[in-house]
A = this chain, B = another copy of it.
Amino acid sequence: MEAKFQKLKTRMLEVNDISSAAGLLYWDQSTYMPPGGAAARGRQMATLSRLSHEKFVDPAVGKLLDELVPYEESLDYDSDEASMLRVTRRDYERATKIPSTFLAEVTSHTSESYQVWTEARPANDFERVRPYLEKTLDYSRQAAEFFPGYEHIADPFIESSDYGMKASEVSRVFAELREALVPLVSTITSQTPADDSCLHQYFPEADQLTFGLEVAKQFGYDMNRGRQDKTHHPFMTKFSLGDVRITTRTKENFLGDALFSTLHETGHALYEQGIRMDFEGTPLAGGTSAGVHESQSRLWENIVGRSKGFWTHYYPQLQKAFPEQLGSVPLDAFYRAINKVERSLIRTNADEVTYNLHVMLRFDFELQMLEGKLEIRDLPEAWRERFQADFGIVPPDDKDGVLQDVHWYYSLIGGGFQGYTLGNILGAQFFATALEAAPEIPSEIENGTFDTLHTWLKDNLYQYGSKYTAPEIVERATGSPLSIEPYMAYLRTKYGELYNLGN
């Protein structure tokens, strides 16, 4: 049995190595590749993705998994071996349900759709992508049928990124959150908006990068196993547990962009770097779900990185880095600026209070489209109506409305958004539990040290990688299932104080 288990591990290592190489092809394309390399690079990435998929869905893997059932049953649920088998089996069952020919067809379609979107968005031309989006929705509904027995047609997609969650559960949580959030947003946005002009000055790129990376290191990002480069869109990527990289971009006329995206990606990287090194190359060596991953990026970006305590320590350093720009701006004004709440059009630029409204809009639309209740041709109008209802404003065009996010234009529709808000909720829940265990964390943050928080997160979350599902790890780490209470308490306290809401 052990020999069979080793054989399976070897195959998984091979799959991991090929995917990691594909990841490097992408990282290089985004960072240093000369323009002339683009055509071949697309082909090379496709070749490696296909190969890694083939190696994984190989019937030989299924046979090994079948033969290993008694072995798995003989092991403790919590043992690494049982967990590895459990996760591999889950991924294998999922991957083999979708026929390769269908997958190839979808990939070919979505890469065309993505291409069209890159031109249609700046041209504000929804009609151009409409037929592609309609076909994508068709494919999405077909894809769901490979998972018969689902409760909701969106479930197969939600399970793929947030295993253990279902549409019904997410909808229930989101409804609860929405009920609490909408009045809060209304109250805040009825006040005079914060003045964030101090962030909109000239900040030289090199100094921005230096400052951001210094904070990242102080958070605990291990540069011996990481690095930062510049890309058009910031991301975190991992080639092994010894090589977890982040990227950022800078805007020289806006301080907020590089700074907070660096802290965000650092959060993702801390999670991956914190996984047990002996999981290297196994299916356990990765974050467990989109939501839990996002909980860490949002925790470090917002709960830590936009807190008063953090800036009590770091603001003098930031002023030193940018004396002309910030020398005469008091801490309080800066703190208000980085936490400005406003009704804005673009999800990725939204503050942490309104952000979830953007996400829920998209999540609800995904369900309705998959259910067949929302036609693609009605999507732009539905977007405007919902936006009016949720934000009190109407996007002036589709470019900054229904065309703004890449998700629906480069992959199937479904499961693409809920992770962002689940992340906000879970980040607060993890943080609250860490504070209960170690009440000294806030004062440490005020001193610019993050060891206790980082260690708690490693011990209770990071080290396990994908060993436990999101609901399992949330329960284990916090003692409760997912709950919006810590998140709402966090928002009410922070923004209550910022906006004198008397709470």
Give A residues with C-beta under 8 Å from B. Answer: 13-14, 17-18, 20-22, 24-25, 28, 32-41, 43-44, 47-48, 51, 222-227, 229, 239-243, 245, 280-281
Contact = CB atoms under 8 A, between A and B. Distances in A.
A17 B37 contact: no
B240 A34 contact: no
A22 B17 CA distance: 11
A223 B18 CA distance: 29
9 contacts: A13-B47, A33-B243, A35-B224, A36-B243, A37-B242, A38-B242, A40-B241, A40-B280, A51-B51
Given A32-B229, A33-B243, 18 more contacts: A18-B47, A18-B48, A18-B51, A24-B24, A28-B28, A34-B224, A34-B225, A34-B243, A36-B222, A36-B224, A36-B226, A36-B242, A37-B239, A40-B280, A41-B239, A43-B281, A44-B240, A51-B51
A405 B18 CA distance: 32
Contacts of A242: 34, 36-40
A452 to B, nearest CB: 24
Contact of A243 (B24, B40, B224, B245): B40
Main secondary structure of the interface of A (DSSP, over half): helix
Nearest to A15: B47
A48 B32 CA distance: 22
Give the top 8 A-B pairs by smallest Cβ distance, nearest first.
A37-B243, A40-B240, A36-B225, A36-B242, A17-B47, A17-B44, A21-B21, A37-B242
A44 B21 contact: yes
Contacts of A22: 21
Contacts of A35: 224-225
Contacts of A47: 13-14, 17-18
Given A18-B51, A28-B28, A243-B40, A34 B281 contact: no
Nearest to A17: B47
A43 B241 CA distance: 13
Contacts of A37: 225, 239-240, 242-243
B41 A240 contact: yes
Contacts of A245: 34
Contacts of A33: 243
A462 to B, nearest CB: 16
B28 A24 contact: yes
A226 B229 CA distance: 19
Contacts of A36: 222, 224-226, 242-243
A270 to B, nearest CB: 14
A10 to B, nearest CB: 10
Given A24-B25, A48-B17, A51-B18, A223 B40 contact: no
